[in-house]
Structure 1
Amino acid sequence: MKAVALKLVLRSWWRNKTFSIISIVSLAIGIACTNLLAAFVIYEFNIEASNPDKDKIVYMAQDSPMKSGEIVSYIVGQIPIDLKEKYTEVEDYLRFSAINCKSVTIGDKRYEPILITTTDTTFAHFFKYKVLYGDLQDALSAPDKAALSESCARKLFGDANPIGKIVQIDLADGGMRYNDEVIAPSRSFQIAAVLKEYPQSYIRFDMLTGNEQEYHGGIALLKVSASFDKEGFAKKIKTDGVPTLQQEKGSYHFTSLQDSYFQHYTQESIPYIVRSQRSLLLIGLISALLILLIACFNYINLSFSRILQQIRIVHTQKLMGATRSEINSQLFLDTFLTVGIAFLLSLLIAHDLVPAFNRIMSGRITTGFFLNSQVLPFISGLILVLSVIPACYMSRKISNLTDSNYRIFFTGNKKRKIVTALSIIQYVISIGLIIGTLTIHAQLRLVQKKGESYRNLVEIGNWMGGNVNVSTIAAELKDKPGIASITRAGGSILYAWLRQIIIDNKDGSETYHSMVQYMGEESLLKTLDIQILQGVTPEEAIRKYDRPVYINQRYANILVPAGENPVGQPIQQYDKYFDDGTGQSCTICGIVSDIYINTLEEEVMPALIYLSDASAKNFQMLYVKLDEKRKKEGMEAIRTVWEKVNPSEYFTYVDVYAGFMQRNRKTTDMANLLLMYAIISIFLTCFGLFGMALYATEQRTKEIGIRKVNGASTGNIMLLLLRQFAGWIAIAFVIAVPFTWLLLNRWLEGFANRVSVAPIHFLLGGLTVLIITLLTVGWHSYRAASGNPVKSLRSE
């Protein structure tokens, strides 16, 4: 009987092959999208899932001394030690910092920079890395020893055992003077251990070594007792006078390891700790579930097309002696086969999409993670729900349904209401995703506009000093092909020096702002495309003033009284705490446009730009603007000059625009995610429309023939068939607009610099779905309307 049931199912599929293919493919895409996002969300919300001490680890942070209301992760090195010694709630501590690597040398081979993290010998008390070779405690106990990650060891040493091998790290801050001592250009480490990486890790590193004896500060984790109260402990140590960066005004903050994974702190670049975005995960998961809904609605709607045939088959089987259980088994088999094949196909789709998905979402999942004990129950549950519920309903409904009952239910008002409701929901989802995609891409374009001055901008050198002679490189690059402009600067644009601005409020309180400071020669403004809003040109400023400085618009808004012209005034007139370390006065020579270096979620910072003449010797960075049409030639010229001027130095550079966009990854990832799912939703909706249009025209074949015989034109019949779809879209549009508007405004509230939700985006969302629907349904409508009416009448 099982073989007969399978044959009947396959025969039914073959008779309705168009609907069967659409149903299976739609379900496969929906399941693949849902599984991808579900696996990603599970991965991110279960960071360090295999760590037995995860719930006992807390992350330390404190109030920022640079800007009121902000929090920083930097913890002075002695503080975690003092907390462990004085408070029983603290069982252990772990501190992190980093070594700035410029390149790696092994023997006579040089490799690109690696991520070097320094930590305490208590590392193994917090994170459970499997040691493949060597001794981790030995690697962290000696200052000249280190451990490598498995992937880094393979990259540097191949399949050979690296234990005992010497790795020379060329330091990015080599040659810099610190505490009256010049830092050595390189350090040598003996490899003492190799660690196996594991998924869902909180810490990221290529090389791990011990903290220096004079550890000044960095990131700190605490292992605490089960009774630890985060807020209560923060209040206790504040009362006890534990020092902060704000002295007695500041407070410490403690968060769980999982919560800290989703936190981002202003002006911090912490490469050795992995971060994620909670909002991106939630919106992504909702998008995936919406896609799954569309796929399921397609499946339900298209199932109506072959139910009548199934009823007739069931009745025939009853006459042939088939029992109710055998009929139910056949209907169960039909549904399970559909979902099962769709699931297997979804695995192939997901496997192919994982690399692209990881690039879009900055994810770390692998295909193997789908079989992880965290993900497999969800996937299994999803498949069971998609299989069991429809199978139970279909077996109960069809086995009790007569041919006349079918015609009453599935061709009457009740069926139309179900199809209409499901179709409208599909349209609501598609319209909402399109509107969301358009709005978020508008926010992304705003980000790109704010960073436009950085496009094709290359940063060369090291703000910490080093052996790179940027002045010689600048002279060699002059008039080279592909080079639009060159300027020298005293520091990095994206990693500029910050200073605190203190503003006295009328109520006696103080407000802190972070101010960014730059120094460069007169061509700096031109190369960085910074516009002068008021004041004199750089060339005139250097001739006119001994120490000219530009302020940006944000600085003027905060410190300069309204209506007052600050040009020509000393900077100390507006900033009483001003001190650039020289004790000399600076004169404001102009106001320039704001310089955006961080995410647009934050207000732009006030900025000072000091100008120096070309003879100054404190230039450490070189900025090269490449010609848009000859970028490749420009980069080749830079590399050639570098190798000529610095033959012993590894060539490194920074794409400033890419760095700025990376800081705005939240917007970029969200835009890419919604674009991907909007396209998929439209694709699935088209699939469903194709099947529904075919079904609708088949059901109305006789009606179409009668209308044509009575003189109806092709256009009239097409309008008749298209009218109901246009009505559904109109209803869906009315429903989608308020919901989408509320959600988008809620998301945009997180940005200090943001776009508005534009009405044109709503119109484009509805119009896009309408046009796609008309194109998809119109083809079927035209075929039905232009056919021979005699054949249409004979079809019944």
Structure 2
Amino acid sequence: MRSWKRNKLFVAISLVSLVVGIACTTLLMAFVIHEYNVENYNPNKNRILRLVQTLPFAQQVVEGTFIYGGTVPQIVSQFPEIESYLRTQTFKDVRVKIEEQEFQSWSLVAADSTLTAFFPFHNIVGDVQDALLKPGDIAVSELFAKKCFGTTDCIGKNVDILLSEIGIRRIVAVFGQPEQSMMHTDILLPLEATESSDCMLLLKEGTNIKKFRQRFGETELPTLLGNGHLRTQTLQESYFDATVKDSNQVIKHQQSTLLGVGLLSALLILFIGCFNFINLSFSRLLRQVHMLHIESIMGATRSQMRQQLFLDTFLMVLVAFLLSLLLMNDLLPAFNHMVSVKLTMEYLFSWQVFPLILLFIIILSVIPASYMGHRLHSISETNYRHFFTGRKKRFIVALLVTIQFIISIGLMSTFMIIRSQMYLIKQEEKHYENIINVYTDANAQLALKNRVDEVKNIEGVEAAIT
């Protein structure tokens, strides 16, 4: 503490550097771990497969998850390895009305009663399973309940869902979102129509998934364009596949390259913080050499001096870590918004992330302290002046600063490129905001062409083509 008091500027700059480095590195690493371990708390994640088929889209042939719900029982019946299946219809930006007050931007999922076997929703009040069995009942998320009713005690309340053929429904359960889940929804209700849906399969325990997927892909099955072949994806494959057109609007996807950039950025930011700490350490080496020589003359042993150096470094890192927790708590909402993720402080202290934080503290404490304890004990003031105040010191400092600037410029350039690409993607999406694609089988193409002129006369339609 006396040493810190004598070197206030060093301590202040070192703490700021370490706090920012630890906070940014921890958040980025937590983001990478969170996204890579998607569905980590789902006990059946390794037995779930999503169906994918070839679809016509905007005069192109693409792969999509759209499955005609009526064909699913026929598909499943041919494979005894399948334990259950799940069909879903999803809607985003749904409006609801409660006692003449309207609430917007909610997501809705209509699903088979098997939903809870695929995604483990946490029951807060009531049971989600009850909402999936009886038409007219719904389950709502904790966020929905608190925003619309101010409390989770809303069982029996009516909600008017402003979608055709849904209308007024009664709340029978309030649920919490599954942790690290691909699916995030606000309203759950039973699936009543089977015309269009996303489909997942749950395989029986002990099934050889590799052999099943191969046999499934080789079997001729009902598809949108007649008999053909369907493909399957695991949940993790689906999560990191942005090329497939997903008909499930509440299923989230992630770019694997973004995780790579996040991991690289985390390491580079940590290196910058370490470089700053090393550069600043040069400024007080002479004082430490004097201190160690005086302590040695006064009878201090080598182990005692190493212990002192370790505690000095460890306390610096520990204080920086504690301060970084405050910074992370303040940055978390902005960080979640920036990368579209839902990290919490509880997650940062989970077994997935916290051991990594402890590893950071050990690396930042043990390695510098061990080196300094070994090096400083044997160095004389003459050696210090020869090595640390001459050309070698200037070369080392210049090298560290140069590397630091290169990393900083690289990080800023990468960030600007990512931001510009995201802006271009959003601008491109706007071109398709008001376009509706109508699909039909080959036999109905002629009838569809005859109705184009009729569609053009509908109010709100600017143009129609086939």
Judged with a 3 Å threshold, the aligned counterparts in structure 2 of structure 1 residues 443 and 339 are, in CA distance, closer, same or farther, namely: same
CA distance in 1 between counterparts of 2:105 and 2:425 reads 29
| Native 8 Å contact 2:41 2:179 kept in 1 | no
CA distance in 1 between counterparts of 2:99 and 2:308 reads 70
- Equivalent position of 1:91 in the other structure: 83
| Native 8 Å contact 2:65 2:247 kept in 1 | no
| Native 8 Å contact 2:198 2:247 kept in 1 | no
**What residue identity is the alignment partner of 2:197?**
G
Residues 1:25 and 2:4 are matched in the alignment = no
Q: How far does residue 241 in structure 1 lie from its aligned partner after superposition?
A: 1.5
Please list the CA deviations of residues 721-754 of structure 1 after superposition, one character each: whole Å capped at 9, or x if unmatched: xxxxxxxxxxxxxxxxxxxxxxxxxxxxxxxxxx
1:536-685 pair list within 5 angstroms: 581-583=448-450, 616=457, 618-620=458-460
| Native 8 Å contact 2:221 2:230 kept in 1 | no
| Native 8 Å contact 1:332 1:392 kept in 2 | yes
CA distance in 2 between counterparts of 1:68 and 1:231 reads 30
**What residue identity is the alignment partner of 1:88?**
P
- Equivalent position of 1:192 in the other structure: 172
**What residue identity is the alignment partner of 2:55?**
S
Residues 1:220 and 2:199 are matched in the alignment = yes
| Native 8 Å contact 2:142 2:175 kept in 1 | yes
- Equivalent position of 1:47 in the other structure: 38
Residues 1:204 and 2:195 are matched in the alignment = no
Moved more, 112-121 or 431-440: 431-440
**What residue identity is the alignment partner of 1:161?**
D
Residues 1:37 and 2:28 are matched in the alignment = yes
1:443-462 pair list within 5 angstroms: 443=421, 446=424
- Equivalent position of 2:104 in the other structure: 112
The answer to which structure, 1 or 2, has the higher relative contact order (CA under 8 A, 6+ apart) is 2
CA distance in 2 between counterparts of 1:447 and 1:201 reads 25
Q: How much is the aligned-residue C-alpha RMSD, in angstroms?
A: 3.1
CA distance in 1 between counterparts of 2:340 and 2:333 reads 10
| Native 8 Å contact 2:239 2:253 kept in 1 | yes
Runs of at least 5 residues in structure 1 that lack an aligned partner in the other structure: 1-9, 175-183, 455-491, 503-576, 587-609, 623-796
1:638-787 pair list within 5 angstroms: none
Larger Rg: 1
CA distance in 1 between counterparts of 2:391 and 2:172 reads 76
| Native 8 Å contact 2:14 2:276 kept in 1 | yes
SS in structure 2 at match of 1:306: helix
Judged with a 3 Å threshold, the aligned counterparts in structure 2 of structure 1 residues 431 and 136 are, in CA distance, closer, same or farther, namely: closer
CA distance in 2 between counterparts of 1:346 and 1:584 reads 64
Judged with a 3 Å threshold, the aligned counterparts in structure 2 of structure 1 residues 276 and 290 are, in CA distance, closer, same or farther, namely: same
- Equivalent position of 1:131 in the other structure: 123
Q: How far does residue 343 in structure 1 lie from its aligned partner after superposition?
A: 0.9
- Equivalent position of 1:59 in the other structure: 50
TM-score w.r.t. the length of structure 2 is 0.89
Judged with a 3 Å threshold, the aligned counterparts in structure 2 of structure 1 residues 161 and 12 are, in CA distance, closer, same or farther, namely: closer
| Native 8 Å contact 1:97 1:218 kept in 2 | yes
| Native 8 Å contact 1:231 1:254 kept in 2 | no
Please list the CA deviations of residues 758-787 of structure 1 after superposition, one character each: whole Å capped at 9, or x if unmatched: xxxxxxxxxxxxxxxxxxxxxxxxxxxxxx
**What residue identity is the alignment partner of 2:174?**
V
Judged with a 3 Å threshold, the aligned counterparts in structure 2 of structure 1 residues 160 and 45 are, in CA distance, closer, same or farther, namely: closer
Moved more, 70-79 or 155-164: 155-164
| Native 8 Å contact 2:279 2:397 kept in 1 | yes
Moved more, 89-98 or 33-42: 89-98
Q: How far does residue 584 in structure 1 lie from its aligned partner after superposition?
A: 8.4
Please list the CA deviations of residues 151-195 of structure 1 after superposition, one character each: whole Å capped at 9, or x if unmatched: 212223333632223222221xx3xxxxxxxxx5x5222222221
Segments ≥4 residues shifted beyond 6 Å = none
1:112-511 pair list within 5 angstroms: 112=104, 114-159=106-151, 161-171=153-163, 174=164, 184=165, 187-212=167-192, 214-225=193-204, 228=207, 232-248=211-227, 250-265=228-243, 268=246, 270-440=248-418, 443=421, 446=424, 493-497=433-437
**What residue identity is the alignment partner of 1:157?**
F
Runs of at least 5 residues in structure 2 that lack an aligned partner in the other structure: none
Judged with a 3 Å threshold, the aligned counterparts in structure 2 of structure 1 residues 95 and 442 are, in CA distance, closer, same or farther, namely: closer
- Of 45, 69, 74, which residue of structure 2 is paired with 1:77? 69
Q: How far does residue 439 in structure 1 lie from its aligned partner after superposition?
A: 4.2
Q: Give the total of aligned pairs.
A: 461
Moved more, 233-242 or 51-60: 233-242
CA distance in 2 between counterparts of 1:448 and 1:85 reads 42
SS in structure 1 at match of 2:222: coil
Judged with a 3 Å threshold, the aligned counterparts in structure 2 of structure 1 residues 208 and 325 are, in CA distance, closer, same or farther, namely: same
SS in structure 2 at match of 1:264: coil
| Native 8 Å contact 1:96 1:211 kept in 2 | yes
| Native 8 Å contact 1:57 1:126 kept in 2 | yes
CA distance in 2 between counterparts of 1:160 and 1:449 reads 39
